[in-house]
Amino acid sequence: MILKHLKKYWHFALLASVFMILEVYVDLRQPRLMAEIVDQGILGLGNGGVSDIGIVTNTGIRMILIVIFGGICGILSNVCTNLCSQNFGNDIRKSAFRRIMHFSFSQTDDFSVGSLITRTTSDVTQVQNMVAQLIRGCVRCAMFFVAGSIALVSLAADFGTVILIAMPILLLEVGFVLWKTNPLFRLLQNRLDRMNTVIQENVAGARVVKAFVQEQRESERFAKSNDDLVSTQFRVLILMSYMRPVMNIILNIATIAIIRIGGLRVEDGSIAPGTVMAAITYLSQILNGMMMLAMIFQTVTRGITSSRRLREILDAEPPVQDGAREDIPAKFGSICFKNVSFSYPDNDAAVLRNISLDIRGGETLAIIGETGCGKSSLVNLIPRFYDATSGTVEVDGVDVREFKLHDLRDRIAVVLQKSELFTSTIRENIRIGNPEATDAEIEAAAAAAQADEFIRQQPDGYDTPVAESGMSLSGGQRQRIAITRALIRKAEILILDDSTSALDFRTEAALQSALREQYRDVTKIIIAQRISSVQNADRIAVLENGSIAACDTHENLLKSCKIYQDIYASQMRKEA
């Protein structure tokens, strides 16, 4: 899943590697040119010991031109590497977000919001860095190691002995550090998940925190999650900090060995002093390449950890999938529950038990019952937010599992108790329900939802900006905007899931009157706690412990249903 995104940019990766090879070739060419300047230009070994400034000048100019060429190649390699890694990361982030948007509610709960944020931000960045390092770093290190070793040995075979001794020690150190740090990288990302979750919860619930004066407690909770993150990061950095000093020691010892061997060879006349200088430079390039390789291994190890976390998102298949039905039935708004039972994923306790209920097109059905009796769970099965554990739910005579999700949900408008608004204008929040809606249609729907008056009183009317999560509006105002958004959808089925709880009795009565008069052909399912919210419905279903205890009109339920009588009596006493 991840590699397919990288294949699109293989040409950038190839060009980056080619330019990197040219850049490294320039670096490897420099020591021999410097040796030529020292031996021929300064010491005049080929000219009877007489210095030759011409050689110094000409070779120096060649070095400058080659360095400029190498610099240009380095710039082009960086550009191509970034084009590859950044575009790759961009595609991965978009794919992850698209998959998250199709997650079921249970999948979102399993991952947690904080973890999903970390995966689409930090983890994508880690994978981007890994790709960039693999393109540039691996080519550079391989070139320095292979070509540098060949060049070093070509100067004097004895120099190869130094590399053969130093290299295993370096590899053992790198292997040990990576072995110790590898398990910490996943722990590090998990700790980052936790910290992001704490931040997200406290920003979203800031009003609750302030209302209960819990700033100190939440600050301490954040401090703990942050301390856990820092402590894990510190353990990684401590382990990595051993690497460079040890490598520097090995580099210096190897340099001393090269000087010693080179000195002996200069004495017996088998090599020139400039060759020793070139050997030291080659050795430095080879060992620095190994140090860079250690850093690459760290980045790659962390990137692999992040890629696994991203694959968990990208490979996750939502349990609710499109049906295979191609022909779309006519829209009547009828709904039928046939022996429906339901349990939430990873929970064997039945929330709904053997529900059978027919709802006619254009009918207004209210659902009432105590908290936790399964009211919201029941209506969540209609747009397939969840699938029934057993039994079938039908819309317009067709099992909802046979519909394509878009076709099914296009028939349904849902308003939840918690009204989710986005950081935009009021008009754009309403238009989410129907992007093609005209201003006149928006205003008509707002009038029916009893929202038009307060919207016009806002500083910029319908173009007034809405703060994050709608916090600049009251609960009742948010609910009315959400109802407007549902009405503008012009769906055949309207589900109001306790979405008028923040409205006063007069406003709610006006809303119900508008729904009866202007949306009489729409099938309306109203979940509420208040008798006043449901008593004018065509029928009222009374739920108790996940089963339908009764379903009838308000008047008949008052005569025949003990549960409904108790609810009515308790609310009348409170109002009295």
229 pLDDT band, cuts 50/70/90, is: confident
- Quote the tokens at residue 54: 């011409």
Q: What is the 3-state secondary structure (H, E, C) of 275-304?
A: HHHHHHHHHHHHHHHHHHHHHHHHHHHHHH
- Distance in angstroms (rounded) separating the CA atoms of residues 250 and 513: 85
Is position 359 within any domain?
yes
The pLDDT of 341-357, averaged and rounded, is 87
575 pLDDT band, cuts 50/70/90, is: low
- Distance in angstroms (rounded) separating the CA atoms of residues 325 and 404: 7
The pLDDT of 236-244, averaged and rounded, is 78
225 and 339 both lie in a single domain? no
- State how beta strands 539-544 and 364-369 pair: parallel
351 and 263 both lie in a single domain? no
Is position 321 within any domain?
no
Q: What DSSP letter does each residue of 477-522 carry, written as one string? A: HHHHHHHHHHHTTT-SEEEEESTTTTS-HHHHHHHHHHHHHH-TTS
**Mean of per-residue pLDDT scores for the chain:** 85
pLDDT at site 500: 84
Is position 457 within any domain?
yes
- Distance in angstroms (rounded) separating the CA atoms of residues 1 and 88: 12
pLDDT at site 530: 86
Residue 428: which region, alpha, beta or left (left: phi > 0; alpha: psi -120 to 50)?
alpha
- State how beta strands 412-415 and 493-497 pair: parallel
418 and 281 both lie in a single domain? no
147 and 185 both lie in a single domain? yes
291 and 402 both lie in a single domain? no
Domain final position from 314, 343, 360: 314
Per DSSP, what are the bridge partners of residue 552?
540
Is position 462 within any domain?
yes
Is position 328 within any domain?
no
- Quote the tokens at residue 268: 């017996």
153 pLDDT band, cuts 50/70/90, is: confident
Angle formed by the axes of helices 138-155 and 273-314, to 10°?
A: 160
Greatest Cα-to-Cα distance within the chain, rounded to the nearest angstrom: 125
- Quote the tokens at residue 332: 């009547």
Owner of token pair 């709960």? 109
- Quote the tokens at residue 501: 């709880």
Tell me the torsion sign for CA atoms 468, 384, 103, 346: positive
576 pLDDT band, cuts 50/70/90, is: very low
The pLDDT of 240-259, averaged and rounded, is 80
385 and 513 both lie in a single domain? yes
523 and 402 both lie in a single domain? yes
139 and 47 both lie in a single domain? yes
Whether residue 574 has pLDDT greater than 70: no
CB 428 within 8 Å of CB 484? no
- Quote the tokens at residue 396: 């317009």
CB 118 within 8 Å of CB 192? yes
The pTM for the full model equals 0.74
The pLDDT of 191-211, averaged and rounded, is 78
- Distance in angstroms (rounded) separating the CA atoms of residues 572 and 576: 6
CATH number, domain of 51, equals: 1.20.1560.10
293 and 368 both lie in a single domain? no
Domain final position from 280, 314, 348: 314
| Domain count for the chain | 2
User: Which among 40, 21, 22 is positioned nearest to 32, based on CA atoms?
Assistant: 40
- Distance in angstroms (rounded) separating the CA atoms of residues 22 and 129: 22
Which range in 169-173, 449-453, 465-469 is most confidently predicted, on average pLDDT?
449-453
CATH number, domain of 478, equals: 3.40.50.300
Whether residue 1 has pLDDT greater than 70: no
User: Which stretch of 17-26, 86-95, 120-129, 145-154 has the lowest confidence by average pLDDT?
Assistant: 145-154
Q: What residue type is 289 in one-letter code?
A: G
Residue 132: which region, alpha, beta or left (left: phi > 0; alpha: psi -120 to 50)?
alpha
Domain final position from 314, 345, 367: 314
564 and 446 both lie in a single domain? yes
Is position 356 within any domain?
yes
112 pLDDT band, cuts 50/70/90, is: confident
414 and 502 both lie in a single domain? yes
Per DSSP, what are the bridge partners of residue 398?
395
Looking at per-residue pLDDT, the higher value among 166 and 441 belongs to 441
How many angstroms separate the Cα of 386 from the Cα of each of 129, 190, 316?
Answer: 38, 28, 16
Q: What residues have CB less than 8 Å from 537, skipping those under 6 apart?
A: 364, 365, 366, 524, 526, 554
50 pLDDT band, cuts 50/70/90, is: low
pLDDT at site 353: 92
pLDDT at site 539: 94
How far is C-alpha 161 from the geometric centre of its chain's CA atoms?
A: 50
359 pLDDT band, cuts 50/70/90, is: very high
Owner of token pair 């076709």? 407
Owner of token pair 């320095």? 144
Is position 320 within any domain?
no
pLDDT at site 443: 92
284 and 355 both lie in a single domain? no
Is position 204 within any domain?
yes
Domain extent, residue 557, equals: 335-575
- State how beta strands 523-527 and 493-497 pair: parallel
* DSSP for residue 227: H
Spell out where 512-560 has E strands: 523-527, 539-544, 547-552
- Distance in angstroms (rounded) separating the CA atoms of residues 189 and 310: 12
